[in-house]
Amino acid sequence: MSARFIVTGGAGFIGANLVHHLLRERDDAHVVVLDKLTYAGNLDNLAAVERSPRYEFVRGDICDRELVRGLFARVRPTVVYNLAAESHVDRSIDGPGDFVRTNVTGTFELLDAARGHFATLAGSERDAFRFLHVSTDEVFGSLGATGYFTEETRYAPNSPYSASKAAADHLSRAWFHTYGLPVLTTNCSNNYGPYQFPEKLIPLVTLNALEGKALPVYGDGSNVRDWLFVGDHCEALAAVAARGVLGETYNVGGNSERTTLEVVHAICDALDEFSPRAGGSSYREQIRFVTDRPGHDKRYAIDASKLARELDWRPRHDFADGLRGTVRWYLDNRSWCERITTGTYARERLGLHQG
């Protein structure tokens, strides 16, 4: 049986990497991307596959009930990967409404369309169907200096973004328990790698550095995140869809805890080597400490041992190498960076919520 995938949010950062991964890994994979193309979605991310007969792009909103149901009926997906989301915490502080709409209502529409589709399936098609909801470690709130998020950690979201993702996770859980929809949920840590929109730390700092701009570090730069290479994440998603236990959640992490300042230093060091500043001084001189994000969670760290134990998945990229490769990718793809930001976003500071 060939595999038919719907990837929502497939023109975004992780979604595009997943589309490439699925088409590369399986000759019989057919991938349909459903994406609204918000500021964060970009068809340039999918240019490498646009001529593939096994790939189709559908522009649309996951909140559009008719469109989503029609798509499920036409494509008859084997696996739905739900990555469509408003994903930037700073933007959720400035405008939470879009986050509730897409992340909560959109996930509801997808789950309910999947339920209708699942009811039409029989035999091996019914056995194979999976709905994989992609979520974040931010739903667990903030850690102190020690400890890890496990699949048992209670939910304690602190930002409008993480609260909207938590709501979607609860809906996904309910569609499994109430309706028997074959749902799986993953909660991953901060991803990095090619095709990330340059509002996020690593591409933002890389591009600002090259343009001689300030490198903004929130607060004192001591907030800790667990960095996961996006290619490792895609492998985890494929493993969970193929072999995960229905109704379960899986944490995906990179075993790479770093403070923000450590990450920014590592980017500067890579750039000092790949593209030295005129005069020979380090890009570290461009670092500027700026007002912290309101409600900024102190530390996230993932215990991904369930994935290792049950599905034999481990992150394969070491942070130092993965980061250097990522900085290299942004250096080698400057025209991509310019095209996707033209006119819409100038890497300005967002999410300060003053007053």
Ligand X SMILES: NC(=O)c1ccc[n+]([C@@H]2O[C@H](COP(=O)([O-])OP(=O)(O)OC[C@H]3O[C@@H](n4cnc5c(N)ncnc54)[C@H](O)[C@@H]3O)[C@@H](O)[C@H]2O)c1
Comparing CB distances to ligand X, the nearer of 85 and 327 is 85
Among 4, 36, 265, 293, contact with ligand X (rule: CB under 6 A): 36
Kindly give the interhelix angle for 319-332 and 334-341, rounded to the nearest 10 degrees. 70
Contact 239, 304 (CB under 8 A): no
- Residue 138 a catalytic site member: yes
Shortest separation between residue 57's beta carbon and ligand X, angstroms: 11
Rule CB under 6 A: is residue 106 a binding residue for ligand X?
A: yes
Cβ 13 to ligand X shortest distance, Å = 4
The maximal CA–CA distance of the chain, rounded, in angstroms, is 68
Q: Which of residues 130-169 bind ligand X (CB under 6 A)?
A: 134, 136, 165
CA-atom Rg of the chain in angstroms? 20
Determine the size of the site formed for ligand X (CB under 6 A): 30
E-strand spans in 189-241?
A: 190-192, 215-218, 224-229
Phi-psi group of 247: left, alpha or beta (phi > 0 → left; psi -120 to 50 → alpha; rest → beta): left
Q: Which SS3 state, helix, strand or coil, does residue 134 take? A: strand
Evaluate whether 233 touches 197 at the Cβ level (below 8 Å): no
Which residue number, 89 or 261, has a Cβ lying nearer to ligand X?
A: 89
Q: Is 269 one of the annotated active-site residues of the chain?
A: no
Print the SS3 string covering 26-54: CCCEEEEEEECCCCCCCHHHHHHHCCCCC
- 332 as an active site residue: the answer is no
**Does 14 sit near ligand X (CB under 6 A)?**
yes
Q: Is 85 in the site for ligand X (CB under 6 A)?
A: yes
> What are the backbone dihedrals phi and psi of residue 145, each rounded to the nearest 5 degrees, phi first?
-70, -25
What binding mask, one character per residue, do residues 190-219 give for ligand X by CB under 6 A, x or -?
Answer: xx-----x----------------------
Query: Judged by CB under 6 A, which of 5, 7, 9, 317 binds ligand X?
Result: 9
Applying CB under 6 A, the residues found at the interface with ligand X are: 8-9, 11-15, 35-38, 40-41, 61-63, 83-87, 102, 106, 134, 136, 165, 188, 190-191, 197
Residues designated as active site = 137-138, 161
